[in-house]
Amino acid sequence: MSKALNSRRLVKIYRYDPSVGGNGHFDQFDLNIEDETKTTILDLLIRIQKTQDPTLAFRYACRVNMCGSCGMVINGCEALACKTNVSDLPEKCDITIRPLNHFPVIKDLVVDMKPFFQKLEASIPYFDPVDESMEPAVIRPDSKERNLIGLATECIQCGCCVSSCTMVNYHENYAGPAALNRAFTLLADSRDGLYDLRMNQVLESCYHCRTEFNCTEVCPKEISPTRAIKYIQLLALKEPRRLKRQNLLKPIHEEKTSGKESLPSADSGCNWLIEQHNRRKFLKQIIFGIGTASALVVGGVIAAAAIGPSLKRIPKRLVRLDKLEAFPVGKVSTIVMNDIVPNGFYKSEIKKPVIVVRRSDPDKIVVFNTSCTHLGCTVHWDESKKQYMCACHGGAFDEEGNVTAGPPPRPLDRYAFKVEDGYLFAEVV
């Protein structure tokens, strides 16, 4: 890329002076960069410190992505200063460099990593073998277990993932991606003897994860702490009993008196554990309470909807069919009845054919329900046979609606009716 040669870049660096305090501000430096593909952000910082502002503070040690001291936020994304080339950033844009999120700022780009290491320590980040044999345990490099853990052991504790995770901000006790990733490498290790203890330390934290994958996106070692967190959750699902049986507080005290110093310290680890225990209990009660309440509400609504209609007396409705003259005397006529039924929040319209028979002698009217009394198919009048026929199963009814053939168990149903103002009304229940 020829464009990347001898380019000018404006570098904005966050400055905070502890002797002044306040919110901090950005300083601007104008730099000529000879070859962007060969210049890292760390090179820029060193150059600025040597040639422009010797008071600029930042951390670094190895310069080759191994020590994890140079984690910072470059153009809005967490990254290692020594791993990010200027050419990795969009061409010609200004470069903004600021310290990591969620850590107190000591000076300029230097943050206090104490919270990070406290939380890492609380996840019991060391290996303690199940058996005390002196032989080194062997894990074959091609075994399933080793492949599962994969490169998750490569974490350099740079803190990028913790800075990128928004949940660290909202949940004070959240151990954070790096600590959980470390715990995962040991939980998945069959040789390790502290499974239960570690599980109890970290499981609660795993549920703070909201699957945002921010940590996975930024990790300079291409580790996915999200994957680690999900794996721990799955492990807990597979062995819920083992978790319950645990006496949560005992092992810590035992270990403490035995004098292993790298165990979680009293202030960070143990209180945390007790708190988690109480919290778990409290959460259980809350969830049970909410569950019961919502079950009652939903149950109530369903019950009311199921039983309600049959308890309520539905008033008889008169449905207007047509003018009386529309039904010729001595004929069988079929008309579609337009019935509007109130149903909860809305009204439903039911269209249903009815048969009206008007006889001359005497002036007698019968309104038949067209549903066959067998299985409800619609019957029709057959003029030649002088019968009502049902096409479905061969049921037949005579003029009075009595069964003459087929399976129907009773005569055709009739509607009560009324004649008012020359209109014929059917009475529907």
Binding segment for other proteins among 14-22, 185-193, 294-302, 353-361 (CB under 8 A)? 14-22
Sole residue written with tokens 């079950």 = 295
- Residue in 12, 43, 60, 270 binding ligand FES, rule: CB under 6 A: 60
Would you say 58 or 174 has its CB closer to ligand FES? Answer: 58
Q: How far is CA 202 from the centre of its chain?
A: 21
Q: Residue 73: which of other proteins, ligand SF4, ligand FES, none does it interact with, CB under 5 to 8 A by kind? A: other proteins
Task: For residue 226, state whether it binds ligand SF4 (rule: CB under 6 A).
Answer: no
Q: Residue 225: which of ligand FES, ligand SF4, other proteins, none does it interact with, CB under 5 to 8 A by kind? A: ligand SF4
Sole residue written with tokens 């962007």 = 36
Task: For residue 154, state whether it binds ligand FES (rule: CB under 6 A).
Answer: no
Quick check: helix, strand or coil at residue 107? Answer: strand
- Report how far residue 427's alpha carbon sits from residue 429's, in angstroms, rounded to the nearest whole number: 7
Binding segment for ligand FES among 55-63, 99-107, 137-145, 196-204 (CB under 6 A)? 55-63
Q: CB 246 → other proteins: shortest distance, Å?
A: 23
- Report how far residue 107's alpha carbon sits from residue 24's, in angstroms, rounded to the nearest whole number: 9
Q: List the structure tokens of 152.
A: 């998750």
Binding segment for ligand SF4 among 34-42, 127-135, 149-157, 390-398 (CB under 6 A)? 149-157
Task: Write out the E strands in 136-283.
Answer: none
**Residues in contact with 222: Cβ distance below 8 Å, sequence separation at least 6, in sequence order:** 151
- Report how far residue 371's alpha carbon sits from residue 378's, in angstroms, rounded to the nearest whole number: 5
Task: For residue 264, state whether it binds ligand SF4 (rule: CB under 6 A).
Answer: no
From residue 77 to residue 96, the character string flagging contacts with ligand FES as x (rule: CB under 6 A) and all else as - is ---x-x--------------
Would you say 66 or 287 has its CB closer to ligand FES? Answer: 66
Would you say 233 or 333 has its CB closer to other proteins? Answer: 233
Q: List the structure tokens of 301.
A: 């609504």
Task: For residue 165, state whether it binds ligand SF4 (rule: CB under 6 A).
Answer: no
Give exposure, 163-200, as e/b (b: 16+ Cβ within 10 Å).
bbbebbeeeeebbbbbbbbbbbbbbbbeebebbbbbbb
Quick check: helix, strand or coil at residue 189? Answer: coil
Q: CB 237 → ligand FES: shortest distance, Å?
A: 36
From residue 175 to residue 194, the character string flagging contacts with ligand SF4 as x (rule: CB under 6 A) and all else as - is --xx--x-------------
Q: CB 197 → ligand SF4: shortest distance, Å?
A: 22
- Report how far residue 208's alpha carbon sits from residue 406's, in angstroms, rounded to the nearest whole number: 69
Task: For residue 205, state whether it binds ligand SF4 (rule: CB under 6 A).
Answer: no
Would you say 63 or 102 has its CB closer to other proteins? Answer: 102
Radius of gyration of the chain (CA): 40
Task: For residue 75, state whether it binds other proteins (rule: CB under 8 A).
Answer: yes
Taking a C-beta distance cutoff of 8 angstroms, is the pair 107, 56 a contact?
no
